[in-house]
Amino acid sequence: MWSLRGLACLVFAGGLAIGTAANAPPVRTQTHAGGYRILSGDFHVHGFPGDGGLPPWSLREEARFAGLDVFGQTNHNQVLTGRLGEWVAGGREPLVITGEEITNPKYHLIAIGISTAVSADQPAASAIADVHAQGGIAIAAHPIASFPGWDDDAVALLDGVEVAHPIIHARDGARREMMAFYERARRLNPDIAAIGSSDVHTTATLADCRTLVFVRDATRAGVIDAIRTGRTVAMDRNGALYGPPDLVPLVDASRPAGRVDPHPQLRRASAALAVAGLLGMMLLGARPARGPGLSCPP
């Protein structure tokens, strides 16, 4: 029995060692165009605690490998995880901005830059007004035809629309529906921002679709200002660009680096080994303590 506990401890230690070697953060260079810095962002991200799989510190690590400079932490109908993530980031890149996915049967709305949760038990226009009252921005989340709660009053109040989302690669007609919504929104608000998001929960798809944000300052306030004034370009997983005709060519000529993950298999193996080893030590029982800290049997 002691040898099994020892093996579990070695597996755990091996996972940590492999992870340390494989998790060296990639070097990220800044991209500039048109007098702005272009940040790579993902503003629809779910995390733990809540309806996502990764805690804030792990999400920031994944964001580095995904080539992100900023992301919004947007769990369903709560901001606790976002506030924790923003506190962990401490204003350092990759930036984390507190948000919420306001989830109503008739619409889903991404709120970025808020501090308290907005009720989903109200029409979309009222929810957007509540987001704006907190100084936040409101983005229509995957606005496909099955979400009928978008009347013109609500659409005219939006700051952004998800144009690039994994659903356009998974379901026939979704791209057409979302583009039709975006064109409708542009008619009502010519400065509306084009947004690309991953809507990641537990899969390794952070920044699968992303938003290129033209900022004056690489800060929380600078990102919110850029989205509010429509200085964004959305990018889908195939690299197709969506957004203002004056900004799309600038991104096309100066695309920020995407995912930089030289050892994805090693990183996943390290996590699996560490979890397996930890579970093994827990299930096989703890050895009587000989002092503080974790003690592995010989």
How much is the pLDDT for 14? 60
d(CA 295, CA 18): 20
DSSP assignment of 173-224 equals: THHHHHHHHHHHHHHH-TTPEEEE---BSSSS-TTSSEEEEEESSSSHHHHH
12 pLDDT more than 60: no
Of the ranges 38-42, 48-52, 66-70, 290-294, which one carries the lowest mean pLDDT score? 290-294
C-beta of residue 112 within 8 angstroms of C-beta of residue 224:
yes
What was the pLDDT predicted at 205?
87
CATH fold group of domain 29-261 = TIM Barrel (3.20.20)
* Averaged pLDDT for residues 227-254: 96
| Phi, psi (deg, nearest 5) at residue 49 | -75, 140
Residue 69's identity, in one-letter code, is D
Determine the pLDDT at residue 291: 44
Domain ranges within the chain, ordered by starting residue: 1-26+264-286, 29-261
Mean pLDDT over all residues of the chain?
87
SS3 readout for 32-49: EECCEEEEEEEEEECCCC
CA distance 32 to 244: 17
pLDDT, residue 278, reads: 59
> What integer is the mean pLDDT of 200-227?
94
With a cut of 90, say whether residue 178 has pLDDT above it.
yes
